[in-house]
A and B are shown apart, each in its own frame.
Chain A
Amino acid sequence: MTHALAIDTTSDYLSLAVLRAGEPAGSHYALCGTAIARTIVQQIGALLDGAGLAPEALDVLFVGCGPGSFTGTRIGMSVALTLGRVLGRPVLGVDALSIIAAQTDPGLGGTFHVLLNCVRDEVYHAPFRWRGGEVEALAPIRLTTAARAAAEIGRAPCLVHRFGSVQPEPAAPPEIAVQSASEAPTGTAVPPEIAVQSRTAVQSRTAVQPETAWRPGLAALLAGLTSAPLRHAQPDALRLLAVGLPRYLARPGGPFEPPAPVYLKSEAFRTWRPQSEAQP
């Protein structure tokens, strides 16, 4: 039975979850912002203590690898990769869009989409579907414009993350049953909604958000998603476990690709030029 630690720091939330003998044994979820770096190691220590696990007992580590806050993502990944190195355990990375996708109802039929806000009117976009109790990405994550994403999504269901400062966020994500092929009891546990909001509610909230106000492309995208069940969601470590654990259990011996942060913005470096080059 698996002991595991999951770490997600790709948003402003420090989200941790621990699995003891295949069962969720504790989680931590708090709005930390820039304090994540200061508190993360102590919080992991407290969480494992609470679960009665020594770090050496862990079989595997799961880490959210973005896209998200560049610095935040690196903090979580620095911790996970270091623990994996010292403990000699595999580290599995899961991207943020898959974690958000896992917040939908597994009974949801057909293709649905996840959008994650980026800067300058761009969005991260990937289509998903549920298959055999696991959420499956139908295409790699793309960085695209809001208009293009809206055209592709049409009337399909869609989850959005970090559009304006859509609130409220829950103080803590509800507990969910972690499912796996070999460890889950019979029957399918349905993750409860984090915060289901109607399209109207989302629109009315985003309308007053200054962050969205100067992003007409995003506002138009929200307005264009006419019949989609919109939810506002946040990557969290429990969902990270829910997505990662089946992947680990499918081949516990590995080998696993060492996770790397999902930036997708790296190409921007190639076209960016410092202002000083314009000077003599």
Chain B
Amino acid sequence: MSAPPSARAAVPSARASARPAIGLAIDTTFDDTSVALIRGRREVLADLTLSQVAAHAEFGGIVPERASRKHLEAIHPLLDHALAQARIGWRELDYVAVSNLPGLLGSILVGTTVAKTLAWVLRRPLIGVNHIEAHPYANFLVHGELPFPLLHLVAAGGHTLLIHQRAHFEGEIVGRSVDDAAGECVDKVAKMFGYPFPGGPEVDRLALAHAPGPYSFPRPMLHDGSLDFSFSGLKTALLYFLKQQAGRPVAEGPVIAAFFEAVMDVLVTKTLRAARRFRTAAVTVSGGLAASRKLRERFEERAREAGIALYYPPARLCTDNAAMVACLAAYRYEAGRCDGLDLEAYANLPP
């Protein structure tokens, strides 16, 4: 997915020096403009994210063209702010990293073009990062080195993925959402109940406060033995349930709690199934939905029962951020895995 390293002129050999390298990472894959500065693998010098949620509020979702416009408005002031916060200048950067897939193409193009320009004018290596591959690195950032092999659940807005990672840069997607991702399904169901985008925090609050009571919703693809996910049917089940109520008052808390039970059951069961199948002793959970306290509770219970170690990043590193991109890029830089200035942007993950 990344172009081979091109012959670059005059790359300063920071790797040869004792000084830990300083990297800049940019992430504009969806609606948040994020930049981070990192020294070595884990020392975050700046981690700034400008959320566009308010800019899209009137639409109940993200308008791609507006997201691209906002990224261009925000990226340069954010870069200035990050450098000022870290008290470093452009020339002190050793490499420039950017998420070049997957997401909204117009948005990614802003980030990749800025990063490529920086890499060229500063004569530094460019590192294109897969945003989804970066999510688990929020765990490496806060927990340090983790024992390979690992099983990662990435529950990001547009993707729900299980990744089996044998070593750094050796990961394989072993399960993926075949239609709606879990986070997407949660947002859409929250919208049915009139909650603003993103609906995850409200669903989490209701799931913590209420028991499902008499309600129960289907667990799609739970018993088919596969590691893939499908949440579209669950969303539709909620839609039909609400239609059947035909205006009668709905016990919102218990219904949403029951819905989230179904989501959690599928996520936790399939993740632990994958961990057993690939004989990994540890599991990480990351992505926006990983910020859910209810989901964490459930994962902790079930992982403890299964005797599997569990790693979570703090909530602020679950949603989109450039610090996780910077962390993965730091490993890439140390290993000399850099890209050329012809780096492409991609909307989708490779098939």
* A79 partner residues in chain B, CB cutoff 8 A: 113, 117
Q: Annotate B70-84 by CB proximity to A: 1 below 8 A, 0 otherwise.
A: 001101100110000
Q: Annotate A12-44 by CB proximity to B: 1 below 8 A, 0 otherwise.
A: 000000000000000000000000011111101
Task: Give the residues from 74 to 92 in chain A that come closer than 8 angstroms, CB to CB, to chain B.
Answer: 74-75, 77-79, 81-83, 85-87
A267 CB to nearest B CB, Å: 12
Task: Tell me the complex Cα distance, A280–B193, Å.
Answer: 10
Q: Is the CB of A74 within 8 A of B63?
A: no
Q: Is the CB of B121 within 8 A of A269?
A: no
Known contacts A39-B342, A41-B116, A74-B110; is-contact A82 B68 (Cβ 8 Å): no
- Using CB atoms, name the residue of chain B closest to A70: B65
B212 on the A face (CB < 8 A): no
A274 contact from B60, B66, B242, Cβ within 8 A: B60
A38 CB to nearest B CB, Å: 5
Q: Is the CB of A37 within 8 A of B109?
A: yes
B90 on the A face (CB < 8 A): yes
Q: Can you offer 26 A-B residue contacts whose CB atoms are under 8 A?
A: A37-B112, A37-B344, A38-B343, A38-B344, A39-B342, A41-B113, A41-B116, A41-B117, A41-B120, A42-B120, A42-B342, A55-B120, A70-B65, A71-B106, A74-B109, A74-B113, A77-B72, A78-B109, A78-B110, A86-B121, A87-B121, A263-B69, A269-B65, A269-B66, A276-B60, A280-B242
Known contacts A78-B113, A85-B80; is-contact A71 B68 (Cβ 8 Å): yes
A45 on the B face (CB < 8 A): yes
A93 on the B face (CB < 8 A): no
Interface size (B, Cβ < 8 Å)? Answer: 37
Q: Is the CB of A41 within 8 A of B341?
A: yes
Task: Tell me the complex Cα distance, A75–B116, Å.
Answer: 11
Q: Is the CB of A55 within 8 A of B110?
A: no
A261 on the B face (CB < 8 A): yes
A108 CB to nearest B CB, Å: 35
B117 contact from A83, A263, A277, Cβ within 8 A: A83
Task: Give the residues from 235 to 280 in chain A that come closer than 8 angstroms, CB to CB, to chain B.
Answer: 260-261, 263, 266, 269, 273-274, 276-277, 280
B122 on the A face (CB < 8 A): yes
- Using CB atoms, name the residue of chain A closest to B192: A280
Closest 9 CB pairs of A and B: A78-B113, A82-B117, A41-B116, A79-B117, A41-B341, A41-B120, A82-B114, A42-B341, A55-B121
19 new A-B pairs (CB below 8 Å) besides A87-B121, A261-B69? A37-B109, A40-B113, A45-B120, A71-B109, A74-B110, A74-B113, A75-B109, A79-B113, A81-B76, A82-B117, A86-B90, A261-B72, A266-B69, A269-B63, A269-B65, A276-B60, A276-B61, A277-B60, A280-B242
Q: Is the CB of A86 within 8 A of B113?
A: no
Task: Tell me the complex Cα distance, A55–B91, Å.
Answer: 14
Q: Is the CB of A85 within 8 A of B341?
A: no
Q: Annotate B102-135 by CB proximity to A: 1 below 8 A, 0 otherwise.
A: 0001100110111011111110000000000000
* A55 partner residues in chain B, CB cutoff 8 A: 120-121
